[in-house]
Amino acid sequence: MALQDKLKGDNYEKLMALPNPKLHGFVEDAVELCNPDSVFVCTDSDEDIRAVRQMAIDLGEELPLKIEGHTIHFDGFETMAENDQGRDKDGTRYLLPPGMDLGERINSIDRETGLREIRGFLQNSMQGKQMLVRFFCLGPTNSEFSISGVQLTDSAYVAHSEDLLYRAGYEQFKTLGDSPDFFRVLHSAGELKGHVSAHMDKRRIYIDIEEDLVYSVNTQYAGNTVGFKKLCLRLAIRKADREGWLAEHMLLMGAHGPSNRVTYFAGAFPSACGKTSTAMLPGETIVGDDLAYLRKKKAMAYAVNVESGIFGIIRDVNPDDDPVIWDCLTKPGEVIFTNVLMSDGTPYWLGDGRELPEKGVNYSGEWRHGKQDADGTEIPPAHPNARYTIRLEDLANLDERWDDAAGVRLGGIIYGGRDSDTWVPVAQSFDWPHGVITMGAALESESTAATLGAVGVRAFQPMSNLDFVALPLGRYIQNHLDFGQSLDTPPLIFGVNYFQKNREGKYLTGMLDKAVWVKWMELRVHGDVDAVPTPTGLIPKYDDLARLFRDVRGQDYTKGEYVEQFTLRIPESQQKIERIDGIYRTQVTDTPQIVFDVLAQQRQRLTEARKKHGDYVSPFDIAP
């Protein structure tokens, strides 16, 4: 079948203007496989991009809201337990050739078996629909960091989302010539029921790491379909492994210090653990909230934001805690809401601070208070993992260097997760290996609604990247160790915990207290404040935090609060070491020996402190 048969008008010429045989072969194979009625090749032109947005509305994949530019999309829903409103971890697998093993913690399937299955699901999946050919650039255009990508999809909602999330890449693609070095994504929503995927039992997301190619079918949730987010992160991790850099699940932000100083931080947090809210802190500036590429330049670490937008969890976004995002979500401009409640053209979500209407339309259809699903579970007005999609350029606190092709120099790296009983609010590692191992590779987090499955379960989440690592885990950790060792001045490494609780289950810190921890980290990068050495890292001095709470939060900070927050919890800390050590000994076959050595040293420091001070040690008892 000739491509001209499906690419009508100027679409064939637009594709052929990119002189890349691999690209042409990819499109031709997908057209033959998926059998769309027609193909639309989208360039970087405003006209083409507007056409995609209008298509999403015309097809009913998005509904216009009252505020100009705002639309709403609903993903598939059967019950609260069975839906298409989170990343499908079980259905996401690597296609591995014979002899390749990524370890037992990484989902995989034999490559030939997986290809037969998913291509079978894709067969004729676009019949009666239009295929959209989209080009994007991961990272700033014309940068040594950037990677080109092409996605084929039959979902105008997915394509529209990508317009907000990524830099246009058609013109950038021209610079590739005939190079095969680009990422490819093929997605189909499959057969539709109404406007959503009808066969969630056949939802599959397979990553062909040999071909830098992602397949996704029978799903519309953006985390499963917007290929250049976490799906191509897996491909970027392998590319970084080959080329000696790092592809990470990290925010990038500018922390503003004394004398108009800006210090850039990267930060890795599992979903719904404070990553976006950290990047959006009042008084600081955002470079990106989710994905970062890190490279060595001038013997220092530089980073760029892979994306140009935010696909953020909207739960608890309100004018008091998230004023910048709230402003963006309540003024005219291009915003896509997903899986929230719509009533009279207005979106409502959990924790927005407004009184909810008695009824409306949400992901379950017509909704009213007390509505239950087929299992008898009450359906909330908005899904706990409801989202918003916006462009970074619509944010008032965007950092002036957010799109700098040279990247920003990193002063620090932050690791954080949901930890109710062990980790202090903020601590600095002793050195790069100590930080990589005890704060990055040992990261744990209590699960949330951002992924399908039970919530509140403590999960091993090294570098907040376990779901996306496409390498043997030990090798991935060694790459981090090697990267830091290659730098003259590696970034300082910090661990944070915004979810610490007391024994009665009460949170010990406020949502905006993270602003203080960030200011303290910024000062530490420049050596402007001292720290207290503890067995697990360096913590702030009380006097410095008391001053920062007054300056940053306008609040008094008592010695009692300091003691409660920064008491060393030795039994829990030792239990954590045993859990992590056990995982690396039994489930990761290629763990570098230094991991066990550093954990053993921390275990010994904790044992000595326990003998001297008991199980729970006040920071004032540790301070020299």
pLDDT digit string (tens) for 521-555? 999 999 999 999 999 999 999 999 999 999 999 99
Measured between alpha carbons, how far is residue 31 from residues 17, 148, 265 in Å? Answer: 18, 21, 43
Helices 21-34, 111-122: axis angle to 10 degrees equals 60
Give CA–CA dist 219/202, Å, rounded.
9
- d(CA 106, CA 37) in angstroms, rounded, equals 37
Q: φ, ψ for residue 542 (rounded to 5)? A: -60, -45
Q: Which CATH architecture has domain 247-309+400-622?
A: Alpha-Beta Complex (3.90)
* Residue pointed to by tokens 């919530």: 455
Query: Which tokens in the block code for residue 104?
Result: 């037992």
Helical (H) or strand (E) element with 328: helix 323-329
What's the pLDDT at 402?
Answer: 98
CATH code linked to domain 311-394:
2.170.8.10
What is the 8-class DSSP label of residue 553? I
Low-confidence ranges of the chain (pLDDT < 70): 1-2, 447-456, 623-624
Which residues are catalytically annotated?
Answer: 273
The per-residue pLDDT for range 405-424, each reduced to its tens digit, is 999 999 999 999 999 899 99
Parse the chain into domains and list their residue ranges.
3-61+83-243, 247-309+400-622, 311-394
> Between helices 593-613 and 570-586, what is the axis angle to 10°?
160
CB atoms within 10 A of CB 76: 24
Average pLDDT, the chain: 95
Residue 276: per-residue pLDDT: 83
Rg, Å, the chain Cα set:
24
**Backbone phi and psi for residue 285, each to the nearest 5 degrees, phi listed first:** -125, 145
Look up the pTM and report it: 0.94
The rounded distance, in Å, linking the Cα atoms of 543 and 614 is 25
Closest CA to 125 of 30, 206, 217, 34: 34
Q: What is the pLDDT of residue 173?
A: 96
Q: Within the chain, how many helices (H) and strands (E) appear?
A: 18, 35
CATH number for 3-61+83-243: choose from 3.40.449.10, 3.40.640.10, 3.10.450.630, 3.30.300.180: 3.40.449.10
Rounded Cα distance between 208 and 190, Å, is 20
Q: What is the DSSP string of 81-148?
A: SSBSSSB-TTTEEEEE-TT----TTS-EEEHHHHHHHHHHHHTTTTTTSEEEEEEEEESSTTSTT-EE
Do 348 and 359 contact (CB within 8 A), yes or no?
Answer: no
Please name the amino acid found at residue 142: N
Cα–Cα distance list, 197 to 63, 97, 261, 283 (Å): 17, 30, 49, 42
Instruction: Give residue 446's pLDDT.
Output: 84
Cα dihedral across residues 445, 448, 452, 454: positive or negative: positive
238-250: per-residue pLDDT in tens?
999 999 999 999 9
